[in-house]
Chain A
Amino acid sequence: MKTALTAYLVLSGVAAAFLIYLKVHGIDVVTSVATLLFWVSTPFLRPLPRPLNIVHTAVGVVLLVAFAYFAALRILAVLKI
């Protein structure tokens, strides 16, 4: 778990630095990248004992909901509804 957490932190740091370098400041892009990194690291973090996997899943679901919201806004903008 320690290795997976370290990799998750390093990847998040690299992603944040790269987005700052690219001057991408949209919160929607940042949330999407954060959600992607979170769920990519999840299989390497599991299994987790009972109360912890609930907390971890809850954080992931919140990120997914935020991602879905921003994705829906983009889709609606493309469809011009």
Chain B
Amino acid sequence: MQNDLGPSLIVLGVAISVLALVQPNLAPLLALGLAVLTTGLLTAWEPAARERVLSKLGEAGWENASALIQTAGVPPKAYYFPSSLAGRPIAVVAAERPEAVPRDALIFKTKAGPAVVLSTPGTKALELCGELPGDLAEALRGCVVNVLGLARSVSVAERPDGVVVEYRGISAPDLYGRLLVRPALGGVVASATAAVAAEVLKKPVEIVEESSHGKALRVVLR
């Protein structure tokens, strides 16, 4: 609704201004028309402009995370762990799925080498979503669609190769650009999906595939 308010005010402002210019005895309406037009312009662009600034400022954290992954020498592949196994919902970037995650560890060793523990957009999404229902589709609808408003609809299909989650009407910010955390953690929606799935299924989850076509997004989890 917020997205429609700005353009609506712009149209209304133009209409009032034109009316004021065409009808000589209503000329004072021009002051109101210009005010409505200006308000419309600010309302239409302000949220996007602020979001862009905040996203850019937050990019510093993701640059540091990318540098950490690079320094640790681990391949950019994350395993999402639920809070029941790791104490809090986290992702572990490691060469292979670790058996367990030491509590409060930032970096730990596995058989295949070092593993880096990261908070993800999914971690923060779970903080916003609170209690989740037991069904994965319901949980994703409640969290990603209703609470976060990152997509218009979601469908879940369980297949032998994993869980396929398909979103329609995606509207999510790009938090990391082309940084190394992008292939490691997945996009914002994919990360939230993996974190919710790990929490609901109560087991570690990895993003096998993430592909988008316009406003549709397909995430395969295993």
- Which residues of A does B touch, CB under 8 Å? 1, 5, 8-9, 11-13, 15-20, 23-27, 30-31, 33-34, 37-38, 45, 48-52, 55-56, 59, 63
Contacts and interface: CB of A to CB of B under 8 A. Distances in A.
Given A9-B35, A12-B35, A52-B49, A34 B42 contact: no
Contacts of B20: 30
B46 to A, nearest CB: 6
B41 A30 contact: no
B31 interface: yes
Instruction: Say whether chain A's binding surface is mostly helix, strand, loop, or mixed.
Output: helix
Given A12-B34, A49-B46, A52-B42, 5 more contacts: A5-B39, A8-B39, A38-B34, A49-B50, A56-B41
B27 to A, nearest CB: 5
B41 A26 contact: no
B53 interface: yes
A9 B39 contact: yes
A39 to B, nearest CB: 12
B216 interface: no
Contacts of B25: 20, 23, 25
B29 A20 contact: yes
Instruction: Say whether chain B's binding surface is mostly helix, strand, loop, or mixed.
Output: helix
A22 to B, nearest CB: 9
Interface residues of B, number: 25
A1 B34 contact: no
Contacts of A8: 35, 38-39
B102 interface: no
B30 A48 contact: no
Interface in B1-52: 20-21, 24-32, 34-36, 38-39, 41-43, 45-46, 49-50, 52
Nearest to A11: B35
Contacts of B30: 16, 27, 30-31, 34
A59 B41 contact: yes
A51 B35 contact: no
A52 to B, nearest CB: 5
Contact of A49 (B34, B43, B53): B53
A49 B39 contact: no
A52 B21 CA distance: 27
A56 B42 contact: yes
